[in-house]
Amino acid sequence: MAVKGEVGWTRRTPEGAKLKVIARRFGGDWHFYHQVQRFDDWEPVKDAPIEDWLELLDAVERRMHRRKHSPQDVAHVRRRLIEKFPEHKFD
């Protein structure tokens, strides 16, 4: 079972390998970690790519409807996304 405030998903690297990604809410901010294989350690990701931030936003929005995240969490992720990637236009 996942830690409360943790969101996880799987994506592919540019080389085609699977990469497990989790984002944890800690200290008022989101921290990203990735794992290449099942028993590897979770490695912190200093600057998460925009794909991970968009996946996090999608997951938090879906979980908000099930009352697992608040509308403030969605607003916080949107705000951080705009701060980190000002060159992109978001809806």
Summarised one tens digit per residue, pLDDT across range 43-73 is 999 999 999 999 998 888 888 777 777 788 8
pLDDT of 20 above 70: yes
What average pLDDT does the structure give for the chain? 87
Tally the residues of the chain.
Answer: 91
For the chain, which residues make up each domain, given as ranges?
6-84
**Cβ 54 vs Cβ 81: under 8 Å:** yes
pLDDT of 77 above 90: no
